[in-house]
């Protein structure tokens, strides 16, 4: 285990390259199971969750070769259907092996997945989707999913779950006939997976919409595919630059995926410029809440794509503590994600936690360095941002949780002039 020691008060300045999208990399790694041919994945972020997913893939019979940084070659040499419990308990994304394993072998033995503790995270939608294709699910401390044959169907998901959509798609590409997935998630990472599967020989249309059409094929082939930019990481660095009064250029940023983020950050007086595939955050921004018409207190709330991403609510909450004015942050999707704000309050933030989903933030407040523990990936990054703009020194423990989602974080921050040390506990 490691910790960060951060001395606050240093504006960030410089250029960094956005990492590949974690939430695209994880299902794309699982999709390797759908073929015996070689699959190359580029722009893969080398983070803890990716390492665990690759370890699971190795256990399932995959030969893995690291071609170079962020570039891996995969080939299934044998295929097993039991996901190891010790690894599954580390990452929630282990659930993503259900769809492709079921499609390839007709049986999956899947222990309960792990992941961030940010509230109840249903698995029901996954199993409803798979059973509609012809699977049977038994639960006795673990999930045993079997199917004699998968047959396409017109299904309507009970929620627009990203990972359930991905599981349904990966099962459906090898199912007999046509599958229609209505109320499908349409986030950029879902689009990445669908585009990769099409390059492997799948027949998926409606990509980017909430209705996907999948005509099953008998066999999938190999491909070489590059993962898109991680807009959660990009949004985090935008917030960091603004509250430290810094100046950052983020290359490989895919600005088209941040249009709703631009609206939300704009409510806090934060703006950036797009130059090709790069984003430039200028220094000296006027951090002031932009009131709604009539002087009403504005609200930032998350929603499924193309709404404001739930994973950035922790980030924008800490950013709001450094902005003059009052704003309501409404996290609709996870009932425990906002509980980290007590740590910000202890640092001097002006926050009222109304209930598990809503926080009223009044700023700007001077934050003071503190001793902190990261509870999950995004709250951990929010604490890093708080420490970067606070007076004095902060120590953040359990940084493994942060590094599950942010590639080379301490090195990237150091390259921008941050006073940060990563120290073994």
Q: What are the extents of the domains in the chain?
A: 2-19+229-424, 22-226
| CA nearest to 385, candidates 326, 299, 321 | 321
For the ranges 121-130, 244-253, 276-285, the lowest mean pLDDT is seen at 121-130
Fold of the domain built from segment(s) 2-19+229-424 = UDP-n-acetylglucosamine1-carboxyvinyl-transferase; Chain (3.65.10)
Distance CA 108, CA 115 (A): 20
Which pLDDT score is estimated for 332? Answer: 86
d(CA 108, CA 95): 10
Q: For the residues 136-150, what does the mean pLDDT come to?
A: 93
**Using 50, 70 and 90 to split pLDDT, how confident is the model at 425?**
confident
State the pTM of this model: 0.94
Q: Say if residue 120's pLDDT is above 70.
A: no
pLDDT tens per residue, range 263-278: 999 999 999 999 999 9
**Residue recorded with tokens 């002039």:** 417
CA 10/CA 18 separation, integer angstroms: 21
DSSP 277: T
Instruction: Tell me the per-residue pLDDT of 303-321, one tens digit each, with 9 for 90 and over.
Output: 999 999 999 999 999 999 9
Rounded to whole angstroms, the Cα distance separating 226 from 75 reads 17
Distance, C-alpha 282 to centroid of its chain:
26
- In the annotation, is 116 catalytic? yes
| Of residues 119, 190, 179, the one with CA closest to residue 154 | 179
Write down the pLDDT at residue 92: 87
Are 249 and 279 in contact by the 8 Å Cβ rule? The answer is yes
pLDDT band at 339 (very low <50, low <70, confident <90, very high): confident
Report the alpha-carbon distance of residue 405 to residue 48 in Å, rounded. 7
* Confidence band for 4, pLDDT divided at 50, 70 and 90: very high
Structure tokens at 256: 């088209």
pLDDT of residue 209 exceeding 80, the answer is: yes
Q: Is 417 exposed, middle or buried (0-12, 13-18, 19+ CB in 10 A)?
A: middle
- Please state, in angstroms and rounded to a whole number, the distance separating the CA atoms of residues 188 and 255: 12
Active-site entry in 116, 230, 311, 376 = 116
pLDDT score at 121: 59
Establish whether domains 2-19+229-424 and 22-226 are of one fold: yes
- pLDDT over threshold 60, residue 407: yes
* Res 248 pLDDT > 50: yes
The arithmetic mean of pLDDT across residues 72-87, rounded, is 94
Give CA–CA dist 76/64, Å, rounded.
9
Provide mean pLDDT across the span 402-408: 93
pLDDT for the residue 116: 46
345 phi/psi in degrees, rounded to 5 = -60, -40
Q: Taking residues 56-60, what's their average pLDDT?
A: 96
Residue recorded with tokens 């995926």? 257
pLDDT tens figures, 151-189? 999 999 999 999 999 999 999 999 999 999 999 999 999
334 has a pLDDT exceeding 60: yes
Report the pLDDT value the prediction gives residue 115, as an integer from 0 to 100.
52
**Mean pLDDT (whole number) for 374-379:** 90
CA angle 185, 29, 307 (to 5 degrees): 25
Of residues 198, 189, 204, the one with CA closest to residue 221: 198
- Cα-only R_g, the chain: 22
Architecture of domain 22-226: Alpha-beta prism (3.65)
């Amino acid at each position: 285990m490691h910790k960060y020691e951060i001395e606050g008060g240093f504006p960030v300045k410089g250029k960094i390259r956005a990492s590949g999208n974690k939430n695209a990399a994880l299902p794309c790694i699982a999709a390797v199971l759908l073929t015996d041919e070689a699959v190359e994945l580029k722009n893969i972020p080398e983070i803890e969750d990716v390492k665990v997913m690759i370890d699971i893939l190795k256990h399932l019979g995959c030969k893995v070769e690291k071609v170079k940084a962020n570039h891996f070659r995969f080939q299934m040499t044998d295929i097993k259907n039991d996901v190891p419990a010790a690894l599954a308990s580390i990452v929630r994304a282990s659930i993503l092996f259900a769809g492709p394993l079921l499609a390839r072998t007709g049986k999956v033995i899947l222990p309960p997945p792990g992941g961030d503790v940010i509230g109840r995270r249903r698995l029901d939608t996954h199993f409803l989707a798979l059973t509609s294709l012809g699977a049977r699910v038994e639960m006795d401390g673990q999930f045993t999913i079997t199917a004699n044959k998968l047959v396409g169907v017109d299904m309507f998901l009970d929620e627009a779950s990203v990972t359930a959509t991905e599981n349904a798609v990966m099962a459906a590409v090898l199912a007999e006939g046509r599958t229609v997935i209505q109320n499908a998630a349409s986030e950029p990472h879902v689009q990445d997976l669908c585009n990769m599967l099409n390059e492997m020989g799948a027949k998926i249309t409606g990509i980017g919409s909430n209705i996907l059409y999948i005509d099953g094929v008998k066999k999938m082939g190999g491909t070489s595919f590059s993962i898109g930019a991680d807009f959660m990481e990009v949004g985090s660095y935008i917030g960091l630059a603004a509250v430290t009064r810094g100046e950052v250029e983020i290359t490989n940023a895919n600005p088209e995926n941040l249009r709703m983020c631009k609206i939300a950050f704009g409510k806090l007086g934060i703006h950036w410029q797009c130059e090709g595939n790069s984003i430039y955050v200028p220094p000296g921004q006027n951090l002031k809440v932009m009131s709604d018409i009539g002087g009403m207190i504005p609200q930032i709330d998350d929603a499924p794509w193309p709404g404001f991403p739930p994973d950035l609510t922790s980030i924008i909450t800490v950013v709001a503590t450094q902005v003059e004015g009052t704003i309501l942050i409404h996290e609709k999707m996870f009932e425990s994600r906002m509980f980290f704000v007590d740590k910000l309050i202890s640092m001097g933030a002006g926050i009222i936690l109304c209930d598990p989903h809503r926080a009223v933030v009044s700023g700007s407040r001077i934050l003071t360095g503190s001793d902190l523990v990261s509870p999950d990936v995004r709250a951990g990054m929010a604490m890093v941002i708080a420490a970067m703009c606070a007076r004095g020194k902060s120590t953040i423990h359990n940084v493994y949780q942060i590094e599950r989602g942010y590639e080379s974080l301490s090195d990237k921050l150091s390259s921008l002039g941050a006073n940060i040390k990563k120290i073994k506990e």
